[in-house]
Amino acid sequence: MHSKAYLEAKKEFVNCIVMSPICLGVSLFLAFTEWYPIMKRERLKEVQGEQEAMAA
């Protein structure tokens, strides 16, 4: 039989492994729903500014 400390450590280890895909999923969700649209919008502003400067 394993010690109580071992069983608690094993439980926490498994929790960390189980939670890691969830954390990755949350990070990817935020990246593509919040940060990517901002990056895309700001890049579009830059490109439009460059085009206006070239046209002037």
pLDDT digits (tens, 9 = 90+) for 4-34: 999 999 999 999 999 999 999 999 999 999 9
Predicted local confidence at residue 56, as pLDDT: 76
Reported as half-sphere exposure (CB side, CA atoms, 13 A), residue 37 has a value of: 5
Reported as half-sphere exposure (CB side, CA atoms, 13 A), residue 18 has a value of: 6
- The whole-model pTM stands at 0.62
Based on DSSP, count helices (H) and strands (E) in the chain, helices before strands: 2, 0
